[in-house]
Amino acid sequence: MAELIIDHLEVAVADKVILNDVNLTINDGEIHALMGPNGTGKSTLSETIMGNPRYQITSGRILLNGEDITEMATDERARAGVFLAMQYPVEVAGITNADFIHSAMDARDHHEAVPVLKFLKALNQNMAFLDMDEDYADRGLNEDFSGGEKKRNEILQLMMLQPSMAILDEIDSGLDIDALKIVARGINEMRSQSFSCLMVTHYQRLLNYVVPDVVHVMMGGRIIKTGGPELAKELEKNGYEGLEQDVKG
């Protein structure tokens, strides 16, 4: 199962309401795109689903596979199967990329160690699949990685952790066309009935390579329109302002 329900969610940051009555259902196996201009609350929604404590849920609920995760801590959500690729992935100098992924997998499995050989085999396979140089494994987590390399590395984590629900916040930002295709290849490889995904993006471009089942447009902390892939194409053509006028009538 991989079903996410966002039910009448209202979220405040530093006592300022950012999200208003957000409703969203992602069914098993579906990929949804969340689009919208800067500063409308897309990252706020992403961080809130992952349980970042800075974002206060003032009303509404989040359900994962029927279970209410609204009050769960981030690590519990990760164990429940939620994964977030952050808009700005963190850099950590003291820990290698491979060690970071390995400990994240152990934590997901209630601190039952994933055997080293099994881990390395999967890591090498996935790195090859993502056209990543072997030396990325032993470098500091995202340390001195370019923007595009960080994004590719988020997809490596995704493929290793195999979450049931992934939120990818601007996974396409800063990617050249070759890197975009590789990132898309990774996401498409994850596609199955036991995986669902919310892809946050400004641009239609990613959606040519990962075709979403549903497209949502967020403005001013609300989802103002939902449609199919054609909605993203319409946005590309007419921009968000055209849509806003359209919605207001």
Q: Which residues bind ligand ADP (CB under 6 A)?
A: 13-14, 18, 36, 38-44, 54
- Toward ligand ADP, which CB reaches closer, 38 or 248? 38
Closest separation in Å from C-beta 94 to ligand ADP: 25
Angle (nearest 5°) at CA 157 between 186 and 83: 95
Task: Record the tokens describing residue 219, joined without a space.
Answer: 């403005």
Angle between helices 147-161 and 177-190 (to 10 degrees): 10
* Residue span binding Mg ion (CB under 5 A) among the ranges 28-36, 40-48, 106-114, 147-155: 40-48
The nearest distance, CB 10 to Mg ion, in angstroms, is 18
Residue 18 vs 199, nearer CB to ligand ADP: 18
Closest CA to 53 of 9, 12, 110: 12
Q: In the complex, what is the shortest distance from the CB of residue 7 to Mg ion, in angstroms, rounded to a whole number?
A: 22
Q: How far is the CB of 207 from ligand ADP (least distance, A)?
A: 17
Indicate the Cα dihedral angle 50, 139, 133, 167, nearest 10°.
0
Q: What is the β-pairing status of strands 67-68 and 140-141? A: unpaired
Near Mg ion by CB under 5 A, which window of 79-87, 121-129, 173-181, 231-239?
79-87
**Binding residue (CB under 5 A) for Mg ion from 16, 38, 94, 110:** 38
Outline where the chain has alpha helix (H): 42-50, 74-80, 97-108, 116-129, 147-161, 177-190, 205-209, 229-248
Residue 217 in contact with residue 231, Cβ under 8 Å?
A: yes
HSE (side-chain half, CA atoms, 13 Å) at 137: 17
Residue 81's binding partner among Mg ion, ligand ADP, none (Cβ under 5 to 8 angstroms by kind) is none
Q: Which is nearer to Mg ion, 123 or 175 (CB)?
A: 175
- Among 6, 30, 35, 43, contact with Mg ion (rule: CB under 5 A): 43
Report what 40 binds from ligand ADP, Mg ion, none; CB cut-off 5-8 Å by kind. ligand ADP
Q: Which residues bind Mg ion (CB under 5 A)?
A: 38, 42-43, 87
